Amino acid sequence: MTLGPSRPSPAEPEPPGPELAGAPGADGAHRWRALRVFAENRLALVSAIFLIAVAAFCYLGPLLHHTDQIHTNLGTVNAPPGTQGHLLGTDDQGYDELGRLMIGGQTSLEVGVGAALLATAAGAVIGAFSGFFGGWLDGIVMRCVDGLLAIPTVFLLLLLAAIVTPTKLSLIVIIALISWLVTARLVRGEALTLRTRDFVSAARVMGSSTPRTVLRHIVPNSLSVIVVNATFQVADAILVLATLSFLGLGLPAPQTDLGGMLNNGMTYVYNGTWWVIWPAGVLIIAIVVAFNFIGDGLRDAFEVRLQRR
């Protein structure tokens, strides 16, 4: 599920120490400060490493662990872990569970990242445009955003999904179609405040054109907000995809995503076949948590960079 409201900002302020005038003799090291602060956030760093490992598992794993994820094998159904050739057992269609995790993970990551990128790009452009121009244009755009946000996500998704047949691409588009709203609202707010900042006024006094001002000043200064939001969007998109699968609107077999596997496995919850549920469940939770931690870490890193002016 996507978050309806924009996420609350944790904004953990730096201790308001005495102002230290004085230019530190930095020598390009400042470029790495944000990265360093990010790296100091151990939770975020561990999350990043974990996600890289997950990506390697999903994309490189199939090269080492060959499995058939297209044809069902009703001979070995719900085989427990350790069954020959099936490290994590098989599911109700006889697919190898470990191999299935890999392709399910691929789908989840691809749809998550794809939808987040699309939503962020669209939302950022519309939001920046709306916020910078303000006035009636802004009013119309924002009322439309409000209207779409008022329709609860899952209801809107079910309607949209009823219109379109689910493929990876169509799911990316559908999820993005709903997620851009939050980004747009956020970036618009950012543009609204940036518009009144002195350095934007300075650019206008110099004769800077509107597209130039938006491009050179508004967008780079909103970038941190955009990037942080994009990270959260990935996490939310993966959850939305899972929810869609649960509601029966996910990808048709033999394709699957982590949520689809989970939903599928839940049919057998009373049979004691834990391996068709828990690996997919834990993986999806871990991935979403990791993206959230990274988002938090990025936000802190950016804020520190701006505060240490």
Partner 1 sequence: MTVQPLLRVDDLHTEIRLRHGSVKAVDGLSLDILPGETLGVVGESGSGKTMLGLSIMRLLPPGGRITGGRILLDDEDVVGLPDKQMRRVRGGKIGYVFQDPMTSLNPTVPIGEQIAESVLLHQDVSKADARIRALEVLEQVGMPHAGERMSNYPHQLSGGLRQRVMIAVALAADPKLLIADEPTTALDVTIQEQILQLLDELRQSLGMAILLITHDLGVIASRANRVAVMYAGRVVEECDTASVFGNPRHPYTEALLAALPESAAAAHETLYSIPGLPPDLTDPPVGCRFAPRCRYATDECRASYPELTAGSKHRFACFHPTGSAAGEAMFTKATPVPIELLTTAPVQRATAEATPPKPLLQLSRLVKDFDVTSGALLQRRTGKLSAVSDVSFELAAGSTFGLVGESGCGKSTIGRLIVGLEHPTSGTITIDGRDTSRLHGRTGRDLRTMMQLMFQDPYASLDPRMTVGAIVREPLAIQRVGSKRDQQQQVLKLLDEVGLPRTAADRYPHEFSGGQRQRVGLARALAVSPKLVVADEPVSALDVSVQAQVLNLMVDLQKEHGLSYIFISHDLGVVRHVSDTIGVMYLGKLVEVGPADDVYRAPLHPYTKGLLDAIPIADPSVEATKDRLPIHGELPSAIHPPTGCRFRTRCPLAQDICADQEPLPVSVSGRLVACHFPLKVTPGAPCADAITESATDVLGNKPSPTTE
Partner 2 sequence: MIGYLARRIAQSVLVVFVVSVVVFLMLHRLPGGPRSMLGKTATPAQVAQLTRQLGLNKPLPVQYGKWVSNLLHGDWGFSITHNQSVTSLIGERLPKTLLLTTVSLAIAVLLAIVLGLLQAMRRNRFIDYLMTFISFVFYATPTFFLGLILVLLLAVQVPVFPSSAPQSNSIAGLVAHSNGLVLPITTLVLVSLALFSRYVRSSAIDQLTEDYARTARAKGASEARVLFRHVLRNVLIPVITLLGLSLPWVFSGALVVESVFNYPGMGLLFWQAATAHDYPILLSVTLVVSVATVVGSLLADLAYAVLDPRVRYS
Give, in order, the Cα–Cα distances in Å from 293 to each of 42, 217, 300.
10, 28, 11
18 binds, among partner 1, partner 2, none (CB under 5 to 8 A by kind): partner 1
According to CB under 8 A, which one of 8, 10, 11, 14 is a site residue for partner 1? 14
- Count the neighbouring beta carbons within 10 Å of the beta carbon of residue 206: 9
Binding mask 204-243 for partner 1 (x = CB under 8 A): xxxxx---x---xx--xx-x--------------------
26 binds, among partner 2, partner 1, none (CB under 5 to 8 A by kind): partner 1
* Least CB distance to partner 2 at residue 105 (A): 15
24 binds, among partner 1, partner 2, none (CB under 5 to 8 A by kind): partner 1
Candidates 149-157, 158-166, 193-201, 253-261: pick the segment binding partner 1 (CB under 8 A). Answer: 193-201
* Least CB distance to partner 1 at residue 144 (A): 15
262 binds, among partner 1, partner 2, none (CB under 5 to 8 A by kind): partner 2
292 binds, among partner 1, partner 2, none (CB under 5 to 8 A by kind): partner 2
Question: How big is the site for partner 1, counted in residues (CB under 8 A)?
Answer: 36
* Least CB distance to partner 2 at residue 120 (A): 19
**28 interacts with partner 1 by CB under 8 A:** yes
- Nearer of residues 90 and 243 to partner 2, judged by Cβ: 243
According to CB under 8 A, which one of 49, 199, 215, 269 is a site residue for partner 1? 199
248 binds, among partner 2, partner 1, none (CB under 5 to 8 A by kind): partner 2
